[in-house]
Amino acid sequence: MTTALTTPRLTLSRMHAPTLHTLPDAIAANVERMRSATDARIMAVVKADGYGLGAGTVARAEIGAEAAWLGVTDAGDAAELRDAGIEVPILAWLNPAGVDVAQVVTDRVDIAVGSVDELRQLIADASSLPGGRVRAHLHMDTGMSRGGVPLQDWAELLRVARSGRDRIEVVGVMGHLPDADAADPAMNAPAVLRMRHARDAVLRAGFGPLIVHLAATSGTLTDQATHFDMVRVGAGLVGIDPSETVSLQGAARLTASVVHSSVVPAGTPIGYGGAYVTERTTRLGVIGVGYADGIPRELASGAAVAIDGIRCPIVGRVSMDQIVVDTGELVVPRGTTAVVFGPEAGAVPTVQEWARWAASIPHTIVTGIGARVERAIA
Ligand SMILES: *Cc1c(COP(=O)(O)O)cnc(C)c1O
C-alpha cells in the first residue's frame, strides 16, 4: 500500500558527482562494424571533443581498432591530439580563426580549403614558412551550401592552387553529403557525380595522388557509391546511426546520485510552477543534474532515468542543476546511483530515447553534456 510509505532512513551511502562514462570497447566494436560496410579507409571524426565523450579517449579507442585517420573541426583541436601523443594523419576542415601555418606543418595537420579566398590566404601565410608545404584538401560544395567551393569556382580554385604549388601540396578532395540522415542512394547521386567531376578536374590540373572522401556515417552504412578512398565517420563510432538502419553499440553512460529523497502525499506540486502534481502518495528522488548539465529542459512525457533497474519518470520542470523523479514504491536513499542514459537495454534510457523526448537528435544529447559533469573511462 502506498499509504504505508515512510521516509527512507538516511544512509551514509557515498554520493558521486554526475559522471559521463565513455565506453572504449563499444567504440572499437563500432569501428569494426563500419569496416564491415566499406573497403575505404576510415577517418574517425572526433570533433566537438569526440562528440562530447573526450576527443583523446575516443580517438585512442578508434586508432586501437585501426581507424587510419582522424578528422576535427579546427587546427587547434588537432594540436591538442598531437600534444596527447596521437600520431595518425589528422584533417581539420574549418578554421574560423585562420591557420597558424608553421604549427600545422610542425604538427603534420592537413587543412581543408573551402573557398578560393581561403586558399589565397593559406598560400600567402605559407610564404613565411622556411621549409615544408601545407597539405591541403580541396573541399567541393556537394549540395549543402554550407562549406565548400561552389562548382562554378572550382576552375579558379585550381588555378590558384597551381600558382601556389611551392607552398601548398594538394593531397585530397572532399565533399559532404547533405542528406546525412537519409538511407537513400538516389538522393546522394548528384553529390557523387559532382565529387567525380571535382576529382577529375584536380587530376587534370596535374595534382595527385589524391585521397577522395565524401561519406559520413549514413553514407558509409547505406551507399557504397559514396565511399571513394576514405569515409569520415563520427556519430557511428559513438553508437549513433543517423540512418537508423543498423544497430550500433552505445558508447556513453551518464550517471548521477540521488541527492535528496522524500515521501509526499497526493496533490503535491513539484518543482518550478508546480507543473506536475502528484496523484498519489509516492516517493521522490532529486537527482543532481539539470539543464546546465545538458538535460534538455523541454521534455516530452515519458522522460525518465533508471534506478535499481526500474525506470523512474522525471516529474515537474527540469531545473538548472537538478531534476526530480518519481520512484513510486522504490526506496532511493541519498547516494543511490541513477543512470540517466546508457547502452543497456531495458530500464536504462538510450540517447536515442532522450533525443525523442527532446524532439532532437542523439548528437545534441551527447555533445550537450556540461563541463561540470565529470568524465570517466569505463
Ligand atoms: C561531422 C562531420 C562528419 C561526420 O559525420 P557523422 O554523421 O557524425 O559521421 C564528416 N564530415 C564532416 C565535414 C563533418 O562535419
The residues that are catalytic are 47, 272
Q: Give yes or no for residue 89 CB within 6 A of ligand 1.
A: no
Q: Give yes or no for residue 217 CB within 6 A of ligand 1.
A: yes
- Provide the residue ranges of all domains of the chain, joining segments of one domain with +: 24-238, 250-377
Interval between CA 262 and ligand 1 midpoint (Å)? 45
Q: What is the CATH architecture assignment of 250-377?
A: Beta Barrel (2.40)
Mean pLDDT of 336-357: 96
CA geometry: angle 37, 41, 44, nearest 5 deg:
90
Atom of ligand 1 nearest to the CA of 236: 9
Q: Whole-angstrom Cα distance, residue 315 to residue 278?
A: 9
pLDDT tens, residue by residue, 246-268 = 999 999 999 999 999 999 999 99
pLDDT of residue 176: 97
pLDDT of residue 98: 87
Secondary element (H or E) of residue 327: strand 323-328
Residue 7 confidence (pLDDT) above 70: no
pLDDT of residue 31: 98
Q: Give yes or no for residue 47 CB within 6 A of ligand 1.
A: yes
Interval between CA 250 and ligand 1 midpoint (Å)? 18
Which residues lie closer than 8 Å to 33 by C-beta, 6 or more apart? 236, 246, 248
Q: Give yes or no for residue 264 CB within 6 A of ligand 1.
A: no
The grid cell for 133 is 608545404
Q: How confident is the model at residue 9 (pLDDT cuts 50, 70, 90)?
A: low
Mean pLDDT of 54-81: 98
pLDDT of residue 3: 44
Ligand 1, atom 1: closest residue by C-alpha: 234
Q: How confident is the model at residue 12 (pLDDT cuts 50, 70, 90)?
A: low
pLDDT of residue 368: 98
Q: Give yes or no for residue 180 CB within 6 A of ligand 1.
A: yes
Q: Distances in Å between the alpha carbon of 56 and those of 81, 220, 311?
A: 6, 23, 33
Mean pLDDT of 296-301: 95
State CA 263 to chain mean position distance: 39
Q: What dotted CATH number matches 24-238?
A: 3.20.20.10
Q: How many CB atoms lie within 10 A of CB 274?
A: 11
pLDDT of residue 247: 92
Q: Which pTM does this prediction carry?
A: 0.94
Mean pLDDT of 373-378: 96
pLDDT of residue 184: 86
pLDDT tens, residue by residue, 151-209 = 999 999 999 999 999 999 999 999 999 987 877 899 999 999 999 999 999 999 999 99
pLDDT of residue 1: 40
Ligand 1, atom 3: closest residue by C-alpha: 216
Q: How confident is the model at residue 2 (pLDDT cuts 50, 70, 90)?
A: very low
pLDDT of residue 312: 98
Share of residues in the chain with pLDDT > 90 (%): 90
Interval between CA 45 and ligand 1 midpoint (Å)? 7
Residue with cell 580554385: 157
Mean pLDDT of 362-368: 98
Q: Give yes or no for residue 99 CB within 6 A of ligand 1.
A: no
Ligand 1, atom 12: closest residue by C-alpha: 176
Interval between CA 43 and ligand 1 midpoint (Å)? 10
pLDDT of residue 208: 95
pLDDT of residue 15: 85
Going by C-alpha positions, the residue among 327, 354, 340 that lies closest to residue 289 is 340
pLDDT of residue 182: 78
Region class of 299: left (phi > 0), else alpha (psi between -120 and 50), else beta: beta
Q: Give yes or no for residue 222 CB within 6 A of ligand 1.
A: no
Q: How confident is the model at residue 304 (pLDDT cuts 50, 70, 90)?
A: very high
Atom of ligand 1 nearest to the CA of 237: 9
Task: Please give the mean pLDDT across all residues of the chain.
Answer: 95
String of DSSP letters for 208-260: -S-EEE---HHHHHH-GGG-TTEEEESGGGGT--TT--S-----EEEEEEEEE
The grid cell for 155 is 576552375
pLDDT of residue 14: 74
pLDDT of residue 97: 82
Interval between CA 179 and ligand 1 midpoint (Å)? 11
pLDDT tens, residue by residue, 97-124 = 889 999 999 999 999 999 999 999 999 9
